[in-house]
Amino acid sequence: MESSIASYKQNGFLEGSKFPAGENAKRVIASDLAQSAGVPNHTDQAGPIYFKVQLNCQLFSLEDPARQHFIYYLADETETIGLDGKESHGPYAVISMVDYYLKKHDHGEKVLVVYCDNCAGQNRNRFLMAYWARLMKTDRYKDVETHFLLVGHTKFTPDALFGRWKKVFRSRNTDLPEDLKTTVGNDFPNTTTCKYSDEPDFKWFDWKTHLDERYEPVVVI
């Protein structure tokens, strides 16, 4: 995590307590999807074999390195776009969560810098590229820079956050998806945990169909 923040500092993305808005102001985010967490989960259970089927909850993390603030988005398999957790790791879900975050946390910046995993299913695909182009076409941002991490990377802030999250998760008794927000999520400073059902303005959107009709594929992606 410290190495990621140091990298952002070297690129001039951390501005301390001042965050100027305007044409040249930059907004930096780092995002990643984690493995799902199953509930119920008790610290004294031998393993998941004690439950025939656990309810899987998907975890998505967004980091604002300039403000050193982290947001977890939780959605259990009854709340995902597809039936029984399907489409929870594709462009549908990723773009919906990123778009909701950018709208809710807009501070007037006109340059967006994105760090994300080099995964074709989640980030490195034609639909994410079309979404970044759409942000510029609709004048929400003047420029969008996308930085894909090297395959096999080990030092990425969201990965460190997921590791810390899983450590706390294993030490807590959680019976319901809501416990992941109240019992686990509240254990971290500078962190906000949002559950899909608790966010009235957050709706899944069919981005694939919307973007496929309006934007051509990027040849090198």
Q: What is the pLDDT of residues 20-64, one digit of tens each?
A: 566 678 999 999 988 788 888 888 876 665 556 788 899 999 999
- Specify if 62 maps to a domain: yes
Q: What is the pLDDT of residues 96-108, one digit of tens each?
A: 999 999 999 998 9
Sorting pLDDT into bands at 50, 70 and 90, what band is 221? Answer: low
- Specify if 33 maps to a domain: yes
Find the mean pLDDT for residues 74-78: 90
Sorting pLDDT into bands at 50, 70 and 90, what band is 13? Answer: very low
Find the mean pLDDT for residues 193-213: 91
**Owning domain of residue 126:** 2-212
- Specify if 63 maps to a domain: yes
- Specify if 217 maps to a domain: no
- Specify if 220 maps to a domain: no
- Specify if 218 maps to a domain: no
**pLDDT of amino acid 96:** 95
Structural domains in the chain (count): 1
Q: What is the pLDDT of residues 111-154, one digit of tens each?
A: 999 999 888 877 889 999 999 999 999 999 999 999 998 877 66
Find the mean pLDDT for residues 9-22: 50
- Specify if 175 maps to a domain: yes
82 with 206: CB under 8 angstroms?
no
Query: Cα separations (Å) of 110 from 11, 98, 119, 133?
Result: 17, 16, 26, 13
198 with 181: CB under 8 angstroms?
yes
Q: What is the pLDDT of residues 150-196, one digit of tens each?
A: 877 667 888 888 888 888 998 989 999 999 988 888 788 888 999 99
Q: Please list, in sequence order, all residues whose beta carbon lies within 8 angstroms of the beta carbon of residue 36, skipping any fewer than 6 positions away.
A: 56, 57, 58, 59, 85, 88
Q: Where are the beta strands (DSSP E) in the chain?
A: 22-33, 37-39, 55-64, 69-76, 109-116, 143-148, 191-195
The closest of 80, 97, 82 to 194, measured between CA atoms, is: 97
- Specify if 116 maps to a domain: yes
